[in-house]
Structure 1
Amino acid sequence: MKTTSKEDFRSHCAVNYGVEIFGDRWSLLIIRDIVFVGKKTYGEFLKSEEKIATNVLASRLAFLEEQGILSRTPSPADGRKDYYTLTEKGLDLIPIVLNIVLWSARYDAKSYVRPQKDFVKRISRNPVQVSEEVKALVRSGGCIFPDVKE
């Protein structure tokens, strides 16, 4: 896989930089899976309902690791598996993901998050506090909806 250095960006516009680092669909869905349901392994990411191709998943995980958004460590239980976690740089994307959730809850009539009215209301009322709480939760290995299994 080709690494992306800052010289490879189309421009250094702040929006473009963000889009080139985390703005593709798959990168955001990997981040979502870590934050919302606590996925950590390649196999768990493959089970997401969007059905990411194996080569795309491997490429995105490697890219996010190269960019300092994900950290990869061997599983203590099975050294053949790697665990992916968000770095501090990756955790700083949580407010963006939560804002996407709010936007989707507002405009997607079939959004899975709509039934989570209290959660959506909390994010709307105090996005900074909720973002910090979610960061602390994910930093400690937790996730927002630990009971959701795919």
Structure 2
Amino acid sequence: MRSYGQYCSIARALDVVGDRWTLLIVRELLLRGPCRFTDLRNGLPGIAPNLLSTRLKELEAAGLITREDAPPPVATVLYELSETGRAVEPVLKALGLWGMRFMAEERPDDTFQARWLAYASEWFTVDADPDAPPAVIQLVAAGEAAVVELRGGQVHTRLGRAADPDIVLDGPPRAVLGLLGGLVDLDRAVELGLSVTGRVDLLRRLRPVAPN
């Protein structure tokens, strides 16, 4: 692990998590919980196996992750965030919220996964009407599905499809995430390919977190 060689807490933090792919590995472990090596590879399209191995060893040496053998009959190693690793979560949330301003354009070679849709909905939106009855919003972006549940003033998400959602938003990631993140309004999202079915009024209830 390379070092900036500076007696500064920001530099020291970047010594640990500043290399390419490192924070995305932490993201996957936050979203998935204990993971096999193959799970992490699937969640990190484009990473070379040898580089993933190197980054995992570095994170383990820095005390951010632990590894242990899965219980029988599964013969594999599971990687999990340590307490120090889990402490990175608010940093990732703040970084992700700051990064939303760069999401206006979707590059042709960008990959997309349902977990990224789910965490963005839970981390970067709020229920603006906490006293309203529970509601279910189905999100589908590039074929990846996630469910948003509004109840008790909280936003909860899970992967998959709801049996009877109140509203369905289906379209390219740029349109779905752009609408949820406040980057585009509903009319523009529809122009970008978003299909909306159901209670459109719920979009006024699910509001983006104000960026810092």
Whether TM-score is above 0.5 comes out as yes
Matching of residues 7-18 of structure 1 within 5 Å: 10-18=5-13
Q: Write the deviation string for residues 80-120 of structure 1: whole angstroms up to 9, x where unpaired.
A: 31111111110110111111111122331258559955641
Aligned match for 1:76, one of 38, 60, 71: 71
- The equivalent of 2:50 in structure 1 is 55
Q: In the alignment, which residue of structure 1 is the partner of 2:124? A: 120
Where do 1:33-44 residues align within 5 Å? 33-38=28-33, 40-44=35-39
Runs of 4+ aligned residues of structure 1 deviating over 3 Å after TM superposition are: 77-80, 110-119
1:85 is aligned with what amino acid?
Answer: E
- Give the one of 20, 24, 48 matched to 2:19: 24
2:104 to 102, 109, 114: 109
SS at match of 2:21: helix
Query: Contact 2:68/2:78 (CA < 8 Å) preserved in 1?
Result: yes
Cα RMSD, aligned residues only: 2.9
On the 8 A contact 1:37/1:145 being kept in 2, the answer is: no
Letter in 2 for 1:20: D
Which secondary structure state, in structure 2, belongs to the residue aligned with residue 85 of structure 1? strand
Q: Percent identity?
A: 25
In 2: Cα distance, 1:105 partner to 1:93 partner: 18
Q: Secondary structure at the match of 1:109?
A: coil
TM-score, normalised via structure 2 length: 0.49
d(CA) in 1 for partners of 2:39 and 2:10? 30
Q: Is the 8 A contact 1:74 1:83 kept in 2?
A: yes
Of 23-32 and 86-95, deviating more is 23-32
Runs of 5+ consecutive residues of structure 2 not aligned to the other structure: 107-115, 127-155, 161-212
Structure with the bigger RCO (C-alpha within 8 Å, sep 6+) is: 1
The residue identity in structure 2 corresponding to 1:121 is T
TM-score by length of 1: 0.68
Once residues 59 and 19 of structure 1 are traced to their aligned partners in structure 2, the CA distance between those partners, rounded to angstroms, is: 17
Q: Which runs of 5+ in 1 are unaligned?
A: 123-143
